Structure formats: C-alpha cells, structure tokens
Amino acid sequence: MNKLALVGAVLALALIPVLVADAVYFYSGTFTFSAIAQPVVFGYGPNGNPSGSYATYVSVSNGTAGTGFSAQIYLTNSTYAYYYQIVQIKVNSEGYLYISSISLNSNYIESAYLYIQSSSGGSPTEIKIISNGYVVNSQTPPNAIYLTPGKYYVSLLIKPTNPLPTPSTSLGNISLYFGYNPVMANELPLPPI
Amino acid sequence: MRKIVGILFLLLAFLTTASSDVYLFFNTTNLLKSLNLIQVSTYSDHENIGQPTPLGPISNYYLSSNSILHDSQLYVYVNVTKVAGMGGGPGMPGPNQFSINVSVLINSNTQLTLNLYPYYLNVSTGNGPHNTPLINYAELVFISSGITQSAPVFSSTPQPSLINSTVTLESGLTTLNLTFSLSLNHHLIHGPKTYPIYLNFSVLVVASPQIASPQNQYGVRYYYIWNFYVQILGQNIQTSTESFPGYPPTLNTIPLFQ
C-alpha cells in the first residue's frame, strides 16, 4: 500500500509541470553576412615603403587585406626621432578613427606621438600615445578623428631613452588598436582589453 | 547573488553595445630596433689637448666634455686659459680669433644633412651687463676628407642675430671645430686685470639621411641638441654681457617637423 502510494505521488509530481505549462513560444534569429568594402585600409606611406629609400630606417608592411600594419622602426640616440609619413590610411567611407588601446613593451621609449595628416596637407592631428614611459590610454580630449574619403598619412615622433643599447638590439614594441566608427564619434574600448 | 550580478553585467554590456553603431578595430605593431646614425667621439674630462689656437700666439686651452650624443645632447666645455697680446692689425688675424677642435662626428650613412638652428647664445665676462658686443661671429666648421663647410651660428653684422645653417656630411669621420672672434677693438685693452669670458650657445641639430628623391628628402629625421660652454681667461678684457635668447625648440616649433 505504501509502495503504491509512493509511486502514485511520483507520477503525480511528474505530471504537474506538463499540466501547468499550457503554452510554449519559439523564436529564431539568423545572422547573414555579406562582404562590403573596408571603410579604412592601412598601408605604407611615402616613406614607409619596405623596398624604398628609407627602408634602412623604417619599413612598413600591411599584409594582404590592409587591416593593420607592422612597422619596423630603427631608433638611434637622439633627443627626438621623427618618422614622417610612414603609414597610409586610405579612407573609403567617412567615419571616426580613434585609438582604443595601447600597449608598450619597451624600456627605451620615453614618449611617443602619432600625427595623422591628410595627403593633401593641412595641420596634422596629434595623438600622444606614450608619456614618461607609460601608455596614454585616456585621451583628453577624446581622440576620435573625423575622416572623409581620401588618403591620410601617419607620422611617428619618438623620444627615446638614451643611451640606447648596441645597434641591432631589439628594443621592444608598441601595439596600437584602432577603432573606426562610420557613424558617430563615440569611443568604446575594443578587444583585446 | 552571483546570478543577479551576471545579469546586470550582461545588461550593461548590451546597453553599451546598443548605444553605438558599428566599430571596426585594427591591430598594429611598431617594432623598434636601435640603429647607429651619428656618433661623436668622446673626450675624457679635463684632457689637456694642448693645441694652440691657430691664430693666437700664446693661447692654449683644454677641452672637456661629457659623453656627448650618447645622451642625445652634446656638451662641450672649452677653457682657453690664457690670452695675451693684441695680435695683427686690420685685416690680419689676431689672438681674438679662435678655432677649437671640439670633437669628431662619425657618420654611418652615405650622406647626412644637418640643419642647424641656434636658439640661444650668451656672451659675458661675468662682471655685469653693459650690453656691448663681445663677439663678432661664431660658427661651427665641419671638415671631412679635405672638404670644409662652415655653419655660422651668430653674426654681429648687420644686426646681431642667430643664423640657421645647413651642411651635408659624407660617410665617415668629420672633424667639428668651433670658431669665433672676439670684438678686438673694444675689449682686449691694455691693463693688469684678467677676466673670464663666457660664451654659451645651444643649437638644435636636425639630422636627415639624404635621399635622392627631393620630396622624400626629410622622411626620417633625428633631432639633437648641442650645448657649447666656452670660457676664455683673457687679460685686460672689458666687462660686458650680451645675450641672444631665441626660442627653445618645442614639439610645436621644431623646424622641419611637418
């Protein structure tokens, strides 16, 4: 009798959820992807051509898609070292370019600045990226730069920590993460964070 | 509690994403390596070079400097300990003209263009200001493979002023001399007293590897500041001070920056 009562109670409990759930709704979402032109394409500037005249001092490669660049910079003891128009940014659609994150892996950079300038001239926009040996991740004012379609050149100014070690020694690197918002100037931290 | 925090976190994440539209991001890396561009030989402190000034009958000096461009700045201390005699007449070299071998530049490039921008010059006897010209001119002289290039940094005529100059260095060694001239007629007067003359000036040097393409001639530039400190212990020198402060270079005023 007790066993029958127990089995009955278990069955009753199992049926309760079915009885109380009288309606279930289902939804679905689908992401469909289509390729569009890159709004910005990175490349080497007039003085960053890896097979150009300045390759001994600076050499920029940008892969096949132009989604970034890698610049080999050769520093020497100096108060400042300026690498003029070494990176090109080709803007296909207007938007706001900003630096979302910076990382520094070097003990030889006291300060560093980026200068972004239209290929047709005009005043460049200065972005301080390294100050007193530390990255400047909080730009004041915010550094989103409005870019219209066209070509822009990036220059790099570095104040090295002197004296530098023996030539050909690796001095480390600076990594920049750019954000490009084609709609508004809001800046968000982007991966990697 | 953890669930609530998790839900709040997700909500915040969605709120942030919803407040903007599209963000594209790009990763770049600037790799850095050291390179020998230009070096200067070093002298031990207070080394007695013992060279007489080429135009002075008695003068001698010792030259000392710290280690120069390794610290991005060239400091040169020159002490000419004795000046005597009035020297030649008009048009003739006299003991008030000095040419001092300062250092040796080592250029590891095929060619290097140096643009020199003096931005400070002070000449004084250290005995009070009288605003009387003490020097006629000052220049840096670059000598390499028998080729001499002069880069004037100061001239008292027609108006006292600092002067910008450009020289091109060939690969290899270049001797760097400092040449200047005291105002002979007004300051080297007869008398028993001896005063030091201090000549200090600073030059911003922009070094650019010279490339064939004119539009890219200044694609890479290295900036140096050279400071010169010269003390001449002369006899019978009238007291005076004159200063020509220019504008110390800043990031916004550095020449050839754009």
B interface test, pick of A36, A53, A67 with most B CB neighbours within 10 Å: A53
The verdict on residue A155 lying in a domain is yes
Alpha-carbon gap, residue B2 to B32, rounded angstroms:
45
> Mean pLDDT throughout A11-25?
67
Q: Which two tokens stand for residue B237?
A: 């020198």
> Cβ(B106)–Cβ(B38) under 8 Å?
yes
Q: Tell me: pLDDT of A34 over 90.
A: yes
Integer Cα distance of A78 and B36 in angstroms: 10
- CB B248: neighbour CB atoms within 10 A? 11
* Residues facing residue A154 across a β-bridge: A87, A116
Task: Say what the pLDDT of residue B142 is.
Answer: 93
CB A58 within 8 A of CB A72: yes
Determine the Cα–Cα distance for residues B174 and B169; give it in Å rounded to an integer.
7
> What average pLDDT does the segment A162-168 reach?
77
CATH number at residue A129: 2.60.120
Best A77, A101, A127, A180 residue to mutate vs chain B (most B CBs within 10 Å): A77
What digits encode the pLDDT tens for the residues B231-244? Answer: 766 554 555 566 67
| Closest CB from B31, B38, B212 relative to A70 | B31
Range of the domain at A61: 40-181
Over chain B (258 residues), what is each successive 10-residue block's mean pLDDT? 49 38 59 56 34 28 35 55 44 57 75 87 64 77 91 89 90 83 54 66 83 62 80 58 66 61
How many other C-beta atoms are found inside a 10 Å radius of the C-beta of residue B54?
14
Query: Three-state SS for B17?
Result: helix
Quote the pLDDT of residue B53.
29
Q: Is the pTM of this model over 0.80?
A: no
A82 lies in some domain: yes
Domain count, chain A: 1
Beta carbons of A77 and B71 less than 8 Å apart: yes
Q: b/e per residue, A44-79, with b = 16+ CB within 10 A? A: bbbbbbeebbbeebbbbebeeebbbbbbbbbbbbbb
Q: Which of residues 59-88 of B touch A (CB under 8 A)?
A: 69-73
| pLDDT score of B74 | 60
- For chain A positions 172-191, those within 8 Å of chain B (CB to CB) are 172-184, 186, 188, 190-191
**Residue contact B29–A53, C-beta within 8 A:** no
Q: Which amino acid is at A188?
A: L
ipTM over 0.85: no
Flag whether pLDDT at A118 surpasses 90.
yes
